[in-house]
Amino acid sequence: MVHEQHIIPKIKDRTAVIGIIGLGYVGLPLVIRFGEEGFRTIGFDVDDSKVQRLNSSESYIKHIPSETIKRLRDNNTFNATSDYAKLREVDGILICVPTPLNNTREPDVSYIETTSDEIARYLRKGQLIALESTTYPGTTREILLPKLEKKGLTVGRDFFLVFSPEREDPGNPTYSTKNIPKVVGGITPACTEAGKTLYEQIVDRVIAVSAPEIAEFAKLLENIFRSVNIALVNELKMLADKMGVDIWEVIEAASSKPFGFMPFYPGPGLGGHCIPIDPFYLSWKARELNFNTHFIELAGEVNTAMPEYVVSKIADALNQEGKSLKNARILIMGVAYKKDTDDIRESPGVEIIDILKNKGAEVDYHDPHIPAFSGMRRYPHLAMKRVELTEATLKQYDCAVVITNHSVYDYTWIVKNSKLVVDTRNATAHIKNSKIVKA
């Protein structure tokens, strides 16, 4: 019997059990969507503290309420585990593990490899495996497929393998897992059909493509498009600053054109798991083919230089006030990489803190969504707790630096009570005050 003939009915009648490996910003929303559609799910994570918190109905992601986890737990449709032997119990396996860069800015696919080894160990006939982690074109076919075929099972007949890139946007009030279209590309047409059927149960629109490499490349194109355009506007921001021109007003004026222009906005650097990392997966793969990706490399140079640029603007602003950066007291406002979230991954705010400290400044931070942080991959030496944001607190600092423009901040009040404000997000656009320096 061709196993496609019974996995698809199991998916359609909601009797398929779904296993999701990696319970972070991508995996946990998928758990919730499958649970909302009546599927029983098992979540896998190597972090036992996450497993324990989820099994106690507690969320550790700000935009996912604990009540949502509790509802799934009360309905007996979800449990979390670190025991990969339970992969035998599931029909569909979704891989949502990190794909960082190593110290030389090359792809680190070790999490995918380790996870693939665990899946291969417990693989049985009829299972569908979907890789969601962003990676370079060829990963699904070159890394996962050989590991899974070692048991003598045939892809497209005995098991099904697809790539379907995550498109999560934490904290987005308009787009969520359900209404963001899903791209799916399988090793064989039967794989694609099985993957398409699975995702059709939880998202409004599924786009089937001819191969996993198409889906892998599409995800990178999405983020490279953003990276290059952000780099362009960051570079123009620095030029506009030298010319005494307000780049934010320039962007607003250009945005009045109803065709042929899409606004991108400058900032203190790139954050999150996608844009600072994903483009380098493709540039690394290109080097294997003796091909230079000039736009990607140049965009990376511009964007990674932005934290240093912000620090130079802070130093210049302090100098105008007759103060040195060394021993200056600086308050960083917002360390989440994105407005109104608690996501600190690859945050430029943390890098700016590190640079400032290395230059001798005394640095504290406030973020309404992040009470403390420590043990980060790039900055394991940093361990900080936020200070309270009060009138007395603000007046203690030589400079307040707006890194993340959280909605809860009262910028008029912040400017009023600060000696100096360096604004990297144009959050103070509505305020006319000589204390404000744009960066």
Whole-Å CA distances, 67 to 30, 41, 45, 249: 16, 17, 21, 43
Active site residue 274: yes
What is the four-CA torsion angle of 321, 325, 331, 336, rounded to 10 degrees?
130
Query: Which of 96, 191, 274, 399 is an active site residue?
Result: 274
C-alpha 32, offset from chain centre: 18
Which residues does the annotation mark as catalytic?
274
